[in-house]
Structure 1
Amino acid sequence: MSSIQLKIENNIAYITLNRPEVFNSFNREMALQLQDIFDDCKTNDDVRAIVLTGKGKAFCAGQDLKEVTSPEHNPGFKKILEEHYNPIVLKIRHIEKPIIAAVNGVAAGAGANIALACDIVLAHEKASFIQAFSLIGLIPDSGGTFFLPRLIGFQKASALAMLGEKIPAQEAEKLGMVYKVIPDEVFQEEVQKTAIKLANMPTKALGFIKQLLNQSLTNNLESQLDLESKLQIEAAQTDDYAEGVSAFIEKRKPVFKGK
């Protein structure tokens, strides 16, 4: 059985972490497979939005600790970070298409931070987030120390990273960690509805927005304004911009093609 399931439908790639027996924790096989899928989604013109979720009760419990304690199969933390998690986080941020993290259950350790690296986080009402690293003598990785303080502030991020407290979805929403909490009975429907909306929007413009938000994390104001100007000029040259303006003038719904 594949450790990841992939379905492409209506210009949406649904990626499901598929190791429910271990709460979708990562081993080397799953980490490398996810990278390959992201690479395919990046270049596949039929994919205009991506949904990342987990099979069963968990989104992702982070690293499979059996792998790192195995005398025969332990890749070591250097390889795990440099070949597994760091490339995954970078691919999430560099794919110029919107990525939804549909957090269906617990998101712990690297699993939590991979979710936070996505563009939009939709959380099931029973989902939870935990920076579990300090509880076993480790430090947050997978971009946790980068994204978390920017999402919720330095003080809260410091406390969650050090104390390793589990944060329920509702509190995560209040903190600004996730975009929206969705009730159980409509979770799949709302995730699909959001993904369909994104897949039918101007894909290049969404990619430019993603570029700008990435750069805003390190740019000064002058550099950011320059980049906005550059990308706005590029956006104005796309077919989708022409369609959007025509539809507005003609008072009709635009039909964007991601070009």
Structure 2
Amino acid sequence: MSDQQTSLEAYTSYSSLAFDRPARGVLRITLNRPDKLNALDARGHDELARVWRDADADPDVSAILLCGAGRAFSAGGDFDVVEQMIESFDARVRVWREAKELVYNMINCSKPIVSAIHGSAVGAGLVAALLADISVAARSARLVDGHTRLGVAAGDHAAIVWPLLCGLAKAKYHLMLCEPVSGEKAEQMGLVSIAVEDDELQDKALSIATRLANGAPTAIRWTKYAFNNWLRQAGPIFDASLALEMFGFGGPEVREGVLSFREKRPPEFPTATPVSPTANS
């Protein structure tokens, strides 16, 4: 590869993500907090939201491969960030903007994205894993959207993509109950593209990314653009779910959810029936 092709100067400002070019035209982005199981702190959340614009603008990138370092793809969000959101309107606004940008930046990135999912995939890491154009999961991977267990609506990507991938009935079951899905089961229900043996994951994902990078660039990118209109037309559904999630961070349920996680016990949510949005409101 030439010096231009191997340059990573565009990504020197990132600290929670690592970058390399494992094959011609392929940019590998690695969630890189292995000591924290790649849980995203405030900076990591911001970086994961905006990196897709930089990769899209990189003339040496034809395909993107997203991985996680260490034992997990991503263990979700940092509880310190959650507690900041509970206490601070400004923090909720910041995270709302980043969560919105993460989803729309991935949808609008013209380059095809491949995810290689192993271990736990939760929170914003799960968002990126499932919004990839081709998702490859290790059979033993554990995917779970934990929003309702935390005490907020499932808003960061679920409403825009889960019903399209696995159907509304399955989406409601797994999202309302926070029911985990193995990589093998995720493939069976259509939540991920393919599942492979754990020791084959990285090679298979890189092989797919390399094939995409070596393919007809405009044909692949325009195919992605057309297909992603399914997601764009669901944008108002996503926007509503994300707004309701952020609204929940100002309520009592999330305080009990965080406390129960901290104390490693089942949550005891308030039993009073809250006012819910309705079709006639």
Q: Name the TM tier (shorter chain).
A: 0.7 to 0.9
Q: Under a length normalisation based on structure 1, what TM-score does the superposition of the two structures give?
A: 0.78
| Alignment equivalent of 2:94, drawn from 61, 72, 79 | 79
1:139-161: CA deviation from partner (whole Å, max 9, x where unpaired): 11222111001111111101111
Query: Quick check: 2:136–2:192 contact (8 Å CA) kept in 1?
Result: yes
| Alignment equivalent of 1:209, drawn from 196, 211, 223 | 223
d(CA) in 1 for partners of 2:165, 2:123 = 16
Aligned partner of 1:166: which letter? P
d(CA) in 1 for partners of 2:232, 2:118 = 31
Query: Quick check: 2:118–2:198 contact (8 Å CA) kept in 1?
Result: no
Q: Say what the alpha-carbon RMSD is for the aligned residues.
A: 2.1
Bigger shift: residues 150-159 or 137-146: 137-146
Query: Quick check: 2:73–2:121 contact (8 Å CA) kept in 1?
Result: yes
CA, structure 1 residues 194+170, in 2 after alignment: closer, same or farther (shift >3 Å)? same
How big is the shift at 1:45? Answer: 1.6
Count of aligned residue pairs for this structure pair: 218
d(CA) in 2 for partners of 1:70, 1:154 = 32
SS at match of 2:61: coil
Question: For residue 232 of structure 1, what is the aligned residue in structure 2?
Answer: none
How big is the shift at 1:218? Answer: 6.1
| Alignment equivalent of 1:118, drawn from 123, 128, 132 | 132
d(CA) in 2 for partners of 1:68, 1:135 = 13
Query: Quick check: 1:68–1:76 contact (8 Å CA) kept in 2?
Result: no
SS at match of 1:149: helix
Query: Quick check: 1:99–1:118 contact (8 Å CA) kept in 2?
Result: yes
1:3-45: CA deviation from partner (whole Å, max 9, x where unpaired): 1101124110100011122221222211222344322211112
Question: For residue 2 of structure 1, what is the aligned residue in structure 2?
Answer: 15
Query: Quick check: 2:160–2:231 contact (8 Å CA) kept in 1?
Result: no
CA, structure 1 residues 218+93, in 2 after alignment: closer, same or farther (shift >3 Å)? closer
Question: For residue 107 of structure 1, what is the aligned residue in structure 2?
Answer: 121
d(CA) in 2 for partners of 1:180, 1:202 = 22
1:130 aligns with 2:144: yes
Matches within 5 A, 1:217-232: 217=231
Bigger shift: residues 35-44 or 12-21: 35-44
Aligned partner of 1:85: which letter? A
Question: For residue 150 of structure 1, what is the aligned residue in structure 2?
Answer: 164
Matches within 5 A, 1:162-177: 162-177=176-191
d(CA) in 1 for partners of 2:157, 2:200 = 30
1:146-178: CA deviation from partner (whole Å, max 9, x where unpaired): 100111111110111111011111111110001
d(CA) in 1 for partners of 2:131, 2:217 = 19
CA, structure 1 residues 216+135, in 2 after alignment: closer, same or farther (shift >3 Å)? closer
Question: For residue 248 of structure 1, what is the aligned residue in structure 2?
Answer: none
Structure 2: any 5+ residue segments left out of the alignment?
1-13, 234-281
SS at match of 1:58: coil
CA, structure 1 residues 218+41, in 2 after alignment: closer, same or farther (shift >3 Å)? closer
Query: Quick check: 2:56–2:109 contact (8 Å CA) kept in 1?
Result: yes
1:58 aligns with 2:67: no
% identical equivalent positions = 29
Bigger shift: residues 31-40 or 6-15: 31-40
Aligned partner of 2:177: which letter? L
d(CA) in 2 for partners of 1:42, 1:194 = 18
SS at match of 2:143: strand
1:49 aligns with 2:84: no
Aligned partner of 1:2: which letter? S
Indicate the structure whose relative CO is greater, using CA pairs within 8 Å and at least 6 residues apart.
2
Query: Quick check: 1:98–1:198 contact (8 Å CA) kept in 2?
Result: yes
Q: Under a length normalisation based on structure 2, what TM-score does the superposition of the two structures give?
A: 0.72
Question: For residue 250 of structure 1, what is the aligned residue in structure 2?
Answer: none
1:19 aligns with 2:33: yes
Bigger shift: residues 29-38 or 44-53: 29-38
Query: Quick check: 2:20–2:28 contact (8 Å CA) kept in 1?
Result: yes
Structure 1: any 5+ residue segments left out of the alignment?
220-259
Query: Quick check: 1:96–1:206 contact (8 Å CA) kept in 2?
Result: no
1:87-128: CA deviation from partner (whole Å, max 9, x where unpaired): 111111111111011112211133222211110100012211
